[in-house]
Amino acid sequence: MSDKFTHLDASGNPSMVNVAKKKVTHRTAMARSIIALPKEVIQLFEKEDIQTKKGPVFQIAIIAGIMGAKKTGELIPLCHPLGLENCEIKIALNQKEEVVVECTASITAKTGVEMEALMGASIAALTIYDMCKAFSHEIVIKETYLVKKTGGKNDYTRK
């Protein structure tokens, strides 16, 4: 890990990281968002999804998450724009009746896809909130975090 901010130049001004001399490697990242739904929303589940007038919540959240991951470079100011090779969103209920969103992104490139995975998980979670808020405003997006990444200088797995 670096002991300095990578997005600041020698003068302390914002700067995109120069990846020109980095090696092209296959890079993957997986991020997770966890959403706590109140009982009145949990009770709406049918066949592992919530059906609304707008459509199946998880199916729409998957599409939104993929779209969000693809637009990361447009929304996070110093991220490199990347053409993802793959982006997969999985959504399920855990044993605590929380919704777990996992986004895995991959690319063969000079820079990683951690931000794309985090963006995909976040946008999917926000979409679930948006589609379920008519039933309750007690929905909580509890956390979003990087689970693991591979490729580049260092691999990482959350302990």
**Considering the entire predicted model, what is its pTM?**
0.91
Tokens of 104: 């895995």
Q: Which fold has domain 25-151?
A: Alpha-Beta Plaits (3.30.70)
d(CA 159, CA 156): 9
Instruction: Identify residue 130 by its one-letter amino acid code.
Output: D
Q: What pLDDT does 2 receive?
A: 64
Q: What pLDDT does 157 receive?
A: 97
Which pLDDT tens digit goes with each residue over 118-144? 999 999 999 999 999 999 999 999 999
Which pLDDT tens digit goes with each residue over 27-63? 999 999 999 999 999 888 776 778 778 889 999 999 9
Q: Domain coordinates of the chain in residue numbers? A: 25-151
Residues annotated as catalytic are 130
